Structure 1
Amino acid sequence: MSRLRWWLGGAALAGVLVLVAVFVFVIPGDEEPAERPGPPGTGPLTVVSLGDSTLSGEGAGDYTAGTDGAGGNWCHRSPHAMVHRLDLPEVTESVNLACSGAPSGHVALGDVAQYTEPSQAGQLRDLLDTHRVAAVVVALGANDDPRFSRLISECFTSWFLDHGAPCSEEIKADWPSRLEAMVPKVESALSDVRTVLSEAGYSDDDYELVLQSYASPIGPNIPESLRNLDGCPFRTKDLTWVSGPGTASLSEALRTAADGADARFLDLSRAGRGHEACSGGADPSSEWFTRFTVAWDDLDDERRVSHALQESFHPNARGHAQVARCMSEFLATDDRAAACLEGADGDLHAAPSVRAAPDG
């Protein structure tokens, strides 16, 4: 009898151990969580650019047929644009949705159109059906209240008329208030980009969102022989302000917008120093920006004449390649902010946590 009791007790104990083992191996709370494979959806891993002319490729040439005036589309997207030069691990495709002249409202969700094209955030939403987005690079703000192109145009007019105070004196009067008005518009556009990705099932950890600022295309150290319509028709005092305090304060305002939208920030305010338009004198091969440029053939076409100067003072193909090198380095880090600065090798590199001084 005692042997039977011992055998029954042993069988019961074995049954309990089996039940415990079952619970150990099948209770969901005890399983190792599966590592998320990256951005959701299907399709190639992709980097996307949104924003204005500095990312569309204005000035880099070879514009895609549909964006060089056809049907009123002057977005001027170039195959040489920065987004197509990025080198990111496992990313196999790049898509450029930026459009020359775009304000923040065109990047945001809504009804703002630019050169016939609808919202860039809306275009991004459509792209997510066929692509897995690993990074979104944005450049915007200059076409909002600061109207940076206005600044360049007014300084050109000041040189051409050759009288009165330098244009920078007048621009400085309301520059801080213009920057202040710009910040919430940029922040709202970045938030809309996050909304589009969130609605598609993305978490913030699935992708990188980067706002870049602007490099000054012109500087004061240019030969007098090029301070004319053959190169860079501006007064020295205006060039000093534009390339120094003007660009630096614009960059700092954009940093504020990036912080507000929890985006990473890449400061380009000093990225072009020594390589501005006309800085190379007789040899422009070291320059990363276009000089005063006229599309002469467009002057005979009433549909194109108003865009004949559109390429002037924008990053050229060399400039886009340099910024792409810096952006690629930045995206490979975990730094929240960095600045593109020229290294000893003559190329741009990402320098972590370097801020631009407002006094240039």
Structure 2
Amino acid sequence: MAGRRWRALGDFNSAAAPTRGRFPNTFYATKNGKPDGTPTTTQLSGFALDYMIASDQLKDLDVSTTGRNGNSDHFPVRFTPRNTAACGSDWSQPTRYNYDAAVRLAARAEQDACGPPPAVVSMGDSYISGEAGRARRDGGPGTAPASATGSAWGTDRAAVNCNGDESVCDHNPSKVYGDTSYDKGSGCDRSDSAEIRGLTVDGVPLERRSNIACSGVTTDNVTTTGFKGRRPQIDDLRDIARDNEVRPVVLSIGGNDLKFADILQDCVKAYFYPSLFNKGCRGAKEKELADGLDPARAKVVKSVEAIRNVLREAGQEDGSYQIVLQSYPNPLPLGRDYRAPENAPVPPANYSRYLSGGCPFLDADSDWAHSSVVPRISAMLRGAANEAGVSFLDLQDAFAGHELCSRTTRQAGPYSEAVAAVRACESEGRAASGRSEAVEQGVDDDVRRLTGTQLGHLP
């Protein structure tokens, strides 16, 4: 079979969506007719077990199902070239895969003078997917004390079925992340307060703002490799561009290629175990970061070029859309700007900064992350944007004065101003802040305004 094209169809006794994570060229019928939709049940057990795996991306493919299963415990699945007439009227509307540019252009020509409806797309990693939208108590920015079992004084948006004072609650992350929740869904953590949800773009209602970002992705997961049971994001963009005129695509990517989360984890370890990290996390991670910047830049450029190629394939001219590459905010303050003193663990052990605010970072490591790591990542992304010829949105100072455990912020508590602000927002029927720090709702709004301003140059 080496070097030859192949297709395998049938009952794989394995769920369709996770299979696509391992084999990107997996084709199945979906409930909404879109390739990234929820797989249609093909077996009486309620699972989607019948589909096709191919050696390559098939073009102009329709996949549909019917409820006529005879005495079988499986339902028939039909794979045909596009628009092939069905024998009978009880086949589902087809899920359409990879219609070529000529087909899409013809469809556009058949529409009225207004053309296809405009759409906005956000792609990339957890920062733009909106992972922090819950204000989770499991280590995210603005985290409430780990001992909080209720609504974290009104800041945990996943809290449900609370008692009178909200000291005890059940928690339903799907309330915030829908079917992408980390507890029961895909783990992409696309929240209802993600950046794209708060944008104001003329003529683009909420239902045409597509958040296809996913927590944890690298540049490879944007361009070539499935992740968490989903296809590469570029394939999702291809399907959106088939039926819509994509105006802007906002991309946040590169941080996971550089293992930024691992850097912060080593900084935490350096706080608790200084004997193992004599130079703090900088000593353990500086060389790896420095060596990774140029390769990450090349992969970011490749991601941008893949986005541009998909939009060109869909028949869009380069001047009809905008690609915006954004950087990352600085999560930590300078060492001198923490609310609590460092008190690194030296005899007698004293974890003041951690115990009083949940921020186990040494001053020297915070200074390195704030003044060196994030600026160099931003500079790398700016260089990638310039090389690829797209817009750059620099967010490294978006949290200035509002960083984690900064002296200019306050952690949520029984009598904090954050609770009063949340209650006021709720009483007026507006969405409350998704973060524990009292100022971070304003920060979220500022990021959305920055993105909206960047998109204001659209034709």
Same fold (TM over 0.5): yes
Q: CA deviation at 1:176?
A: 2.2
1:342 matched residue in structure 2: none
Listed as ranges, the gaps of 5+ residues in structure 2 are 1-110, 135-174, 342-351, 419-434
1:138 matched residue in structure 2: 251
CA contact (8 A) 2:177 2:191 kept: yes
1:274 matched residue in structure 2: 401
Q: TM-score, normalised by structure 2?
A: 0.54
User: What are the residue-to-residue correspondences of 1:179-328 with 2, within 5 Å?
Assistant: 179-220=293-334, 221-224=337-340, 227-228=353-354, 230-279=357-406, 280-283=408-411, 318-328=442-452
User: What are the residue-to-residue correspondences of 1:28-107 with 2, within 5 Å?
Assistant: 42-43=116-117, 45-61=118-134, 62-69=175-182, 73-92=186-205, 93-107=208-222
Q: CA deviation at 1:115?
A: 1.5
Cα distance in 1, alignment partners of residues 267 and 285 from structure 2 = 10
Q: CA deviation at 1:97?
A: 0.5
Q: Which has the larger helix fraction? A: 1
1:286–1:265 Cα change, 3 Å: farther
SS in 2 for 1:117: coil
Bigger relative CO (Cα 8 Å, ≥ 6 apart): 1
Cα distance in 1, alignment partners of residues 211 and 389 from structure 2 = 22
- Amino acid in structure 1 at the alignment position of 2:116: T
Q: CA deviation at 1:165?
A: 1.9
- Amino acid in structure 1 at the alignment position of 2:238: R
SS in 2 for 1:138: strand
Q: CA deviation at 1:179?
A: 0.5
Cα distance in 1, alignment partners of residues 333 and 264 from structure 2 = 12
Cα root mean square deviation, aligned: 2.8
- Amino acid in structure 1 at the alignment position of 2:324: V
Q: CA deviation at 1:286?
A: 9.4
Q: TM-score, normalised by structure 1?
A: 0.69
Cα distance in 2, alignment partners of residues 258 and 219 from structure 1 = 27
With 224-233 and 266-275 compared, the bigger mean Cα shift is at: 224-233
Give yes or no for the alignment of 1:123 onto 2:236.
yes
With 271-280 and 204-213 compared, the bigger mean Cα shift is at: 271-280
SS in 1 for 2:360: coil
Q: CA deviation at 1:86?
A: 1.2
Give yes or no for the alignment of 1:114 onto 2:227.
yes
SS in 1 for 2:234: helix
Q: CA deviation at 1:223?
A: 1.4
CA contact (8 A) 2:402 2:440 kept: no
SS in 1 for 2:256: coil
SS in 2 for 1:275: coil
Could you report, residue by residue, the CA deviation over 1:190-240 in whole angstroms, capped at 9, with x for unpaired residues?
110011100000111111100001111111211126721542111111111
1:233–1:147 Cα change, 3 Å: same
- Amino acid in structure 1 at the alignment position of 2:317: S
- Amino acid in structure 2 at the alignment position of 1:64: Y
- Size of the aligned set, in residue pairs, is 269
Listed as ranges, the gaps of 5+ residues in structure 1 are 1-36, 288-310, 335-360
CA contact (8 A) 2:274 2:280 kept: no
Cα distance in 2, alignment partners of residues 70 and 245 from structure 1 = 35
SS in 1 for 2:325: strand
SS in 2 for 1:133: strand
Percent identical among aligned pairs is: 31
- Amino acid in structure 1 at the alignment position of 2:210: V
Q: CA deviation at 1:133?
A: 1.2
CA contact (8 A) 1:57 1:80 kept: yes
